[in-house]
Structure 1
C-alpha cells in the first residue's frame, strides 16, 4: 500500500484522518481538541503523576494507538527499521521545547488545524508563527544544520516504545493505578475502544502518507513540493465541513469553551517555537510518534522529551490558560500566558538558535 505516489492518495489519507478526528469529537473528546498530540501527551503524563494538574490527567488511548498503528503497518509493509544514535540528548531537549511552545499556544500543529477549521482566529494568527518557525529551520538546514545520521540497531531496540505504550494500555484497562480527571478536559473523552481504534487507524494512515505538519510546510519552502501539504489539506477540508454542518464553526478570538487565548504575540511565538524545533528534530509531534512506532529510537527520545516537557509546563506554571466563562458571574475571563511561560518560550527560542547554528555537517563547518 503506497499512499505517497500521488497527491490524490495523500489527500485521501488526510480525509480519513479527518474523519477519525470527527468521530472522536462526536464520541466525547473535546470538540476543539478532538485529536491533539501535545494535549494528549500532557494528559497521559498527568495520569502517571508527572504533574498534579487534576483537570488534565488521563491516559489517552489515541497516543497508544498512534504508536501501535505505525508499528503494525510498518511491520506489515516491511518498512520497520530499528535505528538510533542521532544526537539523542539534543532530540530530548527539542522534545521538551516543542511541548513548551505548544502549551504556550495551547495545542500542537494538529490542534492548530482543528481550531482553524472551527473558526478560531487565534489559531490563524498562530499559523504565522508556525510558518516563520519552519522557515527559520529551513534556513538552518540550508546552512548545514544536521544532528548526524542514525545507525541501524537491534530490531528489539526500535520496538521498546510500542511495548511501553502497550504496557500503558494494560495499566489503564486492568488497574486503577493511573490517575484520571473527574472534571475539565481530562474528563472528556471518547470510549476507550473507540479512542484506541481511532489512534490505530490514524497512526497507520499517518505512517503510510508520511503526514507531518512541519514537514509539509518545510517541503513547500525548501523544494516547492506540495505532496505532504495535500494530506493536511484533506484533513482540514473534512474538519471544516464538519464544523460548518454541525454549527460548531464560530469565527472569533474570544470564544468561551475553545480552550484558547488571544495574546497574539504569544500565540505566534509559541507556534514559532514549535515550528522551529520540529524542523530541527525532523518532524512535528505527530510525526515523532509515527517515526518512533516504525523503529526510530531517536524519535522515541524526542517523545520522551515531550512527556517531560508537558510535566514541566504544569509543574512550573508555564502553560497558558484558555478564555472561559465565570460560572458564578457569567463574565468572560480572558485566557492568558503566565510570565513563567513567556520567559520559558523565549529561552526555548534561544536554545533552538544555538542548536541550529552549532550542530552542522562536517563539510559545512
Structure 2
C-alpha cells in the first residue's frame, strides 16, 4: 500500500519551506514557482531582456541536485532518452506559454491559493479541465514512443550544468543579468534558497510528487496518493501564511497575479493538457532531469526557451491582465497541442487513416 502519510508529511514540509522562502525574501506567494524561476534564469542568461525578471534561481539548482543525489543514493539514477525529443521541446514551450499567461506553475497555483489569492481557483479549474482533455487522448492510446538506455555520462550532463549555473550565480560576471527591481530582485539568500531546493528536490524525488500526475491518477484510477501531497502543500502554506501575516484573501491586489478569470482558466488548461502529454508537471520534469532522464532535460530546455519567447514577444501577463499577443499565443498553442494529441493517439489516428484509405 502506498504510504499516504508520507506524502502528506512531504507536502507539509514543502508548504512550510515555501512560506519561509517568502519570509526570507522571495516574492509573495512565490516560495516556489518552477515556471517563474526558469523565466528568471532565462532572463539572467540573456534569453530575454525583461529587466524585472532576471536572476539565476538557486531553488532550481537545488531541485535538480537534490533529486540527482538521492537517486544516486537509492540506485534509481538511470540515463535514458530518445522519446520524441523535438515534440517534447515544443510542448515545453507550450506549457510555459500557458503558465506565464496565468502567472505561475501548478505548484505556485496551489501556493497562491494558500496565500488567499482566489484567482488561483480559476487556474485550478482550468488545470483540471486541461488534464481531463489530455486523459481522453491517453485513453485513445496517446504516447510519445519509448525511450532508450543511454550512456551514463548523458545523465550527468544536466546536473553538471546546474553546478555551472551556481558558479555563475556566485561569481556574478558582467554578462549575467540581475534585476534591480521587480520580482527578479526579490530573493532569499543564496544558501537558504539552495538548501530549500535540495530538500524539496529530495522529497519530490522520493515521493514522485507531481500535480498533473495527482489529477490524472484521480481521473483514471481514483487514486488520490499524489493529490494528497498538493492538498497538504495548500493546507500547510495556508497555516504558514496566516502565522506570518502574509495571508490576503480576495481576487484584487494579489502579488504577481491578475484577476481575469477566463485567461487564468485557459492558461492553466493549456499547461495541464501539455503536461499530461509530457507525463508530468514542470516540477516533475526537473526531478526526472536530475534522475538522468534526457527527455525531461529536453522538456526543461523547452520551458527555458519558452520563457524567453514569452517575454521577447510580449506574451506574458502582468498585474494588468493578459496581453493580446498572449491570448493569440494560447489559441495557437491549443491548436498545436490538439494536433500532437491526435496524431500520437494510435486508436484515433490509425482508425481514421484506415477509414480514409478505404
**TM-score above 0.5:** yes
Report the Cα distance in structure 1 between the residues aligned to 2:59 and 2:305, rounded to whole angstroms: 19
Report the Cα distance in structure 1 between the residues aligned to 2:13 and 2:75, rounded to whole angstroms: 23
Any conservation in 2 of the 1:104–1:320 contact (CA below 8 Å)?
yes
Name which of 325, 333, 355 aligns with 1:340.
Answer: 325
2:148 aligns with 151
Report the Cα distance in structure 2 between the residues aligned to 1:10 and 1:294, rounded to whole angstroms: 19
1:252 aligns with 250
SS at match of 1:81: coil
1:287 aligns with 284
Any conservation in 1 of the 2:210–2:284 contact (CA below 8 Å)?
yes
1:85 aligns with 82
1:45 has 2:42 as partner: yes
Report the Cα distance in structure 2 between the residues aligned to 1:16 and 1:364, rounded to whole angstroms: 44
Report the Cα distance in structure 2 between the residues aligned to 1:26 and 1:187, rounded to whole angstroms: 15
Taking only aligned residues, the RMSD between alpha carbons, in angstroms, comes to 1.3
Report the Cα distance in structure 2 between the residues aligned to 1:290 and 1:152, rounded to whole angstroms: 18
Name which of 108, 122, 126 aligns with 1:125.
Answer: 122
CA shift for structure 1 position 244: 2.0
Structure 1 segments, 4+ long, off by >6 Å, are: none
Name which of 159, 164, 172 aligns with 2:161.
Answer: 164
Report the Cα distance in structure 2 between the residues aligned to 1:61 and 1:249, rounded to whole angstroms: 25
SS at match of 1:31: coil
Report the Cα distance in structure 2 between the residues aligned to 1:101 and 1:33, rounded to whole angstroms: 17
Any conservation in 1 of the 2:140–2:346 contact (CA below 8 Å)?
no
2:240 aligns with 242
Name which of 11, 33, 57 aligns with 2:8.
Answer: 11
Any conservation in 1 of the 2:140–2:347 contact (CA below 8 Å)?
no
Structure 2 alignment gaps of length 5 or more = 351-358
Structure 1 alignment gaps of length 5 or more = 323-334
Any conservation in 2 of the 1:122–1:267 contact (CA below 8 Å)?
yes
1:276 aligns with 273
Name which of 203, 206, 209 aligns with 1:205.
Answer: 203
Report the Cα distance in structure 2 between the residues aligned to 1:134 and 1:56, rounded to whole angstroms: 29
SS at match of 1:126: helix
Report the Cα distance in structure 1 between the residues aligned to 2:137 and 2:92, rounded to whole angstroms: 18
Report the Cα distance in structure 2 between the residues aligned to 1:199 and 1:312, rounded to whole angstroms: 26
1:179 aligns with 177
Report the Cα distance in structure 2 between the residues aligned to 1:190 and 1:246, rounded to whole angstroms: 16
Report the Cα distance in structure 1 between the residues aligned to 2:238 and 2:51, rounded to whole angstroms: 32
2:356 aligns with none
